[in-house]
C-alpha cells in the first residue's frame, strides 16, 4: 500500500471484512460550512453511512499524511481550523506531503484518492464545474477533469448553483462522464431540486444504479459517473429566490476581485448571509441525502460482487 496513505481502524476493518465503503471529502468541513455546524454535519454524515451498513472514509491531508478515514479528533481539528487549512486539489497533494502540511481535500482530490485505494462510491454536496464568465476567466474546476479520469461514482446534488450549469454539463459530456439522474430526468441545481437541463439517463433505485456500475466495470470503462441526487423538494430554495441571491453574490465577488480557490467558499458564505442562513440549512440537508444514497449504492455494489459469475 502507498506509504503516504494512512487508513484509520474503521476503514481497515471494513477492507478486511469486505464491508462497503463510502468516501467523503474534507473541504466541505473546513471551507464549506462555519464552525460548529461543520463538525456536527461531518459526524452526522458518517453516522448516516454507518446506519446504512457501510463504513465512512472521510479523506484529508494532515501533517503531510493522506488520511483515509478520520477519527473524531481529526474531524474536530478540520472543523475548528476551518479556512486556515488550505484547500487541496489533486495537484497540491505532492507539495503538501513533501512539506508535511495539512490539506482539506476537494471533490477532485478526494475522488482521486478514493479511486486509488479502491473505494468505488463518493458522497459530496455539489461538484465544482465551469464558472460563470469562464470564457473570460478560464475558471473551470479540476473536479471535472479528475472525475473523468477516475473510476468512481460521485453522488452529489448536481453542481454548485453558483456555476454555469449548461457549460458544466457540456464539459462532462465532452469528457465522457455519464450523468445519471436519481429518480429525475433533470439535472438538480444544488439548492434547487430541478434545473431546466436534462441528465443523460434516469435510474430509480440504488439497486439499478449499482447494477449499471457493475456492468460498466465489467466492460472496462474507467471514467467516472456523476449520480445527480436532487435535494428533497420540500426543503429546496426556489429558483427565483436563489438566482437573485447568487447574482448579487457574484457581483460582490467581482467588485472585491475574489478569484480562484477563494471564489467558491466566498460565494457560499455570501449566499448564506443573503438568505439569512437558509442556504446553509439546505446545504446540510442535501449532504445528508447524498450520504444516504451513496451508502445504499455501495451496499448494493458489494452484493453484486457476491453473485456468481456465469
> pLDDT tens across 159-210, in order?
988 899 999 999 999 999 999 999 999 999 999 999 999 999 999 999 999 9
Note the helical H segments in 129-205.
134-137, 142-149, 165-174
> Which pLDDT score, from 0 to 100, does residue 310 have?
52
> Which residue is catalytic, options 25, 46, 76, 178?
25
> Which pLDDT score, from 0 to 100, does residue 308 have?
56
Q: Determine the Cα–Cα distance for residues 115 and 10; give it in Å rounded to an integer.
A: 18
Mean per-residue pLDDT over the chain, rounded: 93
Check if the beta carbon of residue 93 is closer than 8 Å to that of residue 66: yes
pLDDT tens sequence across 212-269: 999 999 999 999 999 999 999 888 988 778 888 888 888 898 888 888 778 877 887 8
The residue-averaged pLDDT of 62-79 equals: 97
Check if the beta carbon of residue 282 is closer than 8 Å to that of residue 235: yes
Length of the chain in residues, anyone? 310
C-alpha distances (whole Å) from 252 to each of 10, 164, 259, 303, 306 are 44, 17, 12, 49, 53
Q: Is pLDDT above 70 for 307?
A: no
Nearest to 184 by CA among 164, 214, 204, 206: 204
CATH of 5-305, one of 3.40.1790.10, 3.40.50.720, 3.30.1360.180, 3.40.50.10860: 3.40.1790.10
> Which residue is catalytic, options 87, 90, 160, 245?
160
pLDDT tens sequence across 120-167: 999 999 999 998 888 888 889 999 999 999 999 999 999 988 899 999
> Which pLDDT score, from 0 to 100, does residue 75 have?
97
> Which pLDDT score, from 0 to 100, does residue 60 have?
98
Q: Does residue 234 carry a catalytic annotation?
A: no
- Which 8-state DSSP code applies to residue 236? P
Number of Cβ atoms within 10 Å of the Cβ of 263: 18
Q: Determine the Cα–Cα distance for residues 169 and 177; give it in Å rounded to an integer.
A: 9
> Which pLDDT score, from 0 to 100, does residue 131 have?
87
Q: Does residue 178 carry a catalytic annotation?
A: no
Domain residue limits, the chain: 5-305
Cell numbers at 221, concatenated:
470503462
Q: What is the dihedral of CA 133, 82, 193, 250, to 10 degrees?
A: -30
Sheet harboring 55-62: ordered strands across?
A: 5-7, 65-68, 55-62, 21-24, 121-123, 153-156, 225-228, 178-182, 201-203
pLDDT tens sequence across 272-302: 888 888 888 999 999 999 999 999 999 999 9
Amino acid at each position: 500500500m502507498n506509504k503516504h496513505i494512512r487508513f484509520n481502524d474503521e476503514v481497515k476493518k471494513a477492507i478486511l471484512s469486505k464491508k462497503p465503503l463510502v468516501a467523503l471529502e474534507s473541504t466541505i468541513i473546513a471551507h464549506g460550512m462555519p464552525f460548529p455546524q461543520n463538525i456536527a454535519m461531518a459526524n452526522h454524515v458518517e453516522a448516516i453511512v454507518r446506519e446504512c451498513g457501510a463504513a465512512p472514509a472521510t479523506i484529508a491531508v494532515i501533517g503531510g499524511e493522506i488520511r483515509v478515514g478520520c477519527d473524531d479528533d481529526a474531524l474536530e481539528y478540520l472543523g475548528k481550523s476551518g479556512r486556515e487549512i488550505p484547500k487541496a486539489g489533486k495537484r497540491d497533494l505532492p507539495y503538501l506531503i513533501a512539506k508535511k502540511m495539512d490539506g482539506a481535500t476537494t471533490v477532485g482530490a478526494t475522488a482521486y484518492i478514493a479511486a486509488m485505494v479502491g473505494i468505488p462510491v463518493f458522497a459530496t454536496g455539489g461538484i465544482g464545474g465551469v464558472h460563470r464568465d469562464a470564457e473570460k476567466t478560464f475558471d473551470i474546476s479540476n473536479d471535472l477533469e479528475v472525475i473523468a479520469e477516475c473510476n468512481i461514482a460521485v453522488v452529489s446534488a448536481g453542481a454548485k448553483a453558483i456555476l454555469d450549469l449548461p457549460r458544466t454539463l457540456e464539459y462532462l459530456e465532452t469528457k465522457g462522464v455519464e450523468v445519471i439522474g436519481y429518480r429525475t430526468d433533470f439535472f438538480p441545481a444544488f439548492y434547487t431540486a430541478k434545473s431546466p437541463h436534462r441528465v443523460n439517463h434516469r435510474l430509480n433505485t440504488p439497486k439499478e444504479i449499482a447494477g449499471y456500475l457493475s456492468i460498466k466495470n465489467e466492460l472496462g470503462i474507467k471514467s467516472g459517473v456523476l449520480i445527480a441526487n436532487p435535494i428533497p423538494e420540500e426543503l429546496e430554495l426556489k429558483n427565483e429566490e436563489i438566482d437573485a441571491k447568487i447574482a448579487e453574490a457574484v457581483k460582490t465577488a467581482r467588485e472585491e476581485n475574489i478569484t480562484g480557490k477563494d471564489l467558491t467558499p466566498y460565494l457560499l458564505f455570501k449566499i448564506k448571509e443573503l438568505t439569512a442562513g437558509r442556504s446553509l440549512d439546505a446545504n446540510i440537508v442535501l449532504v445528508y441525502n447524498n450520504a444516504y444514497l451513496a451508502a445504499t449504492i455501495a451496499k448494493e455494489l458489494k452484493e453484486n460482487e457476491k453473485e456468481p459469475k456465469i
